[in-house]
Structure 1
């Protein structure tokens, strides 16, 4: 089932966006409009266009054709400052050379809400502390960001996005470098937020557990869209990822907490040398 989009006048939407680099179409005519407050997962192999699509949605890249809108208004007309207040982004490889504490990194999320050169307010401090608490980083607040592990750095950037208090949240592989417990904790947190979330993931089982809808990309195009039970199938996995898998469907498709589960299969062994 291909994705045709929904009401583009509410929230974040993209209409037939395309982007090319090096003479190659990386994103080719994608349309999406996640339901406000829902979690939309982007799936697809490396090079399928997931990260580029997220950059188009955030306004970091301008589409060669098509349009990205907030409440029906194209992003260039919304403006950078208002977009930054509305929309938070967590990149896959966010870094900084500046010596900052964890609290200072998280406090960067409040910058779009303050006038230039103005001091932080009590509301800013509360937002930062709540974000630290929700990501289990309160005890690291005074620590240098550079001394954190890869997973802790990722959680700090999640906290920065939460402190921003966005209505839309874009995340590119946020579970990278996280152990299983923190992957589940983080995605439970993201799924519970009253925001519209678009999240690129590699793990099909995590996508099935936490996403309301899934959009599968293949070679820059929308290959399939629907609920996890509709999208995550053995033929799709074989065609998009080129691997064999067994998919166990949800026992109760009407239960929103039930979901399909994927078990990948080893490829058959290569034939041995024939006897001479």
Structure 2
């Protein structure tokens, strides 16, 4: 067993953000969470991390409700990479990555050889070994994102949650980062905007629209021209490409507004 969300709902400011969402990521696989801005992707990840509590439904870790677990116990298992992170404290890249070891240490205890090994491995995996002594404040946005991924890897989690991890990265580092995540021997849930990246690197997809699940399944089954039109209001040409016939999407233009309730097409049969 691993992370699981069962019928979770969450509201903010009187607006329903998530409405009865179920998600059971495949153990050891990479699950992509897709949807337009405001569809509930970030909120779902925060529920899975235990940062937020659902108004209805439950999130469990190995069958135990997240609310019944100690925060340190969750932090040892579940690592989170947010969209943006900053600090006013003067830290080096290595210092930031060492923060990933905090759940594994007693307060004020110095780092152990195991901690330093985890940090060195995380820096190497993310291509940051040569930047270990650079100041955080001198890094570009893309470099900071890679450091946050390294911090999460230093945590040595079994579940990894990433909220738009490719933001601010150039194309090479987008591909490198998602290839790294997909190859890791852990369960990953990644919120993404780029449908082609999701098709290339995710084993399973969950698509949200206005807080509800409209499709789930393998990329080839989910990323259809009909679904893209319904969810994103965009015309697209979808063709099989690469190993396993993973879909490649070519965008052709936007569609006119569909009215207050959206297009009538439904993909609930995939959910």
Instruction: Quote the Cα distance in structure 1 between the aligned partners of 2:241 and 2:22.
Output: 28
Determine the structure 1 residue equivalent to 2:175.
184
Determine the structure 1 residue equivalent to 2:44.
53
Determine the structure 2 residue equivalent to 1:160.
151
After TM superposition, give the deviation of residue 260 of structure 1 in Å. Answer: 0.5
Look up the SS of the partner of 1:246 in the other structure: strand
**Could you give the per-residue CA deviations for residues 86-132 of structure 1, whole angstroms, max 9, x where no partner exists?**
00000001211111100000000000001111110000000000101
Determine the structure 2 residue equivalent to 1:217.
208
Determine the structure 2 residue equivalent to 1:246.
237
Instruction: Quote the Cα distance in structure 2 between the aligned partners of 1:80 and 1:97.
Output: 25
1:11 equivalenced with 2:2 (yes/no):
yes
Instruction: Quote the Cα distance in structure 1 between the aligned partners of 2:205 and 2:249.
Output: 15
2:233 touches 2:254 (CA, 8 Å); kept in 1? no
Determine the structure 2 residue equivalent to 1:262.
249
2:53 touches 2:67 (CA, 8 Å); kept in 1? no
1:54 touches 1:172 (CA, 8 Å); kept in 2? yes
Instruction: Quote the Cα distance in structure 1 between the aligned partners of 2:12 and 2:192.
Output: 23
Instruction: Quote the Cα distance in structure 2 between the aligned partners of 1:128 and 1:104.
Output: 9
Q: How many residues align?
A: 256
Question: Which of 13, 18, 23 lines up with 1:32 in the alignment?
Answer: 23
Look up the SS of the partner of 2:253 in the other structure: coil
After TM superposition, give the deviation of residue 249 of structure 1 in Å. Answer: 2.5
Q: Alignment RMSD, CA only?
A: 1.3
What 5-or-longer segments of structure 2 have no aligned partner? Answer: 256-271
2:3 touches 2:59 (CA, 8 Å); kept in 1? yes
Question: Which of 91, 113, 117 lines up with 2:104 in the alignment?
Answer: 113
What 5-or-longer segments of structure 1 have no aligned partner? Answer: 1-9, 269-276
Determine the structure 2 residue equivalent to 1:227.
218
Instruction: Quote the Cα distance in structure 2 between the aligned partners of 1:201 and 1:212.
Output: 13
The two structures have a TM-score, normalised by structure 1, of: 0.91
Rg larger for: 1
Instruction: Quote the Cα distance in structure 2 between the aligned partners of 1:250 and 1:224.
Output: 21
Look up the SS of the partner of 1:57 in the other structure: helix
1:229 touches 1:250 (CA, 8 Å); kept in 2? no
Instruction: Quote the Cα distance in structure 2 between the aligned partners of 1:183 and 1:250.
Output: 19
Sort the Cα spacing of 1:267 and 1:202 in 2 relative to 1 into closer, same or farther, 3 A. Answer: closer
1:199 equivalenced with 2:190 (yes/no):
yes
After TM superposition, give the deviation of residue 266 of structure 1 in Å. Answer: 2.9
Q: Which runs of 4+ in 1 moved over 4 A?
A: none
After TM superposition, give the deviation of residue 250 of structure 1 in Å. Answer: 4.3
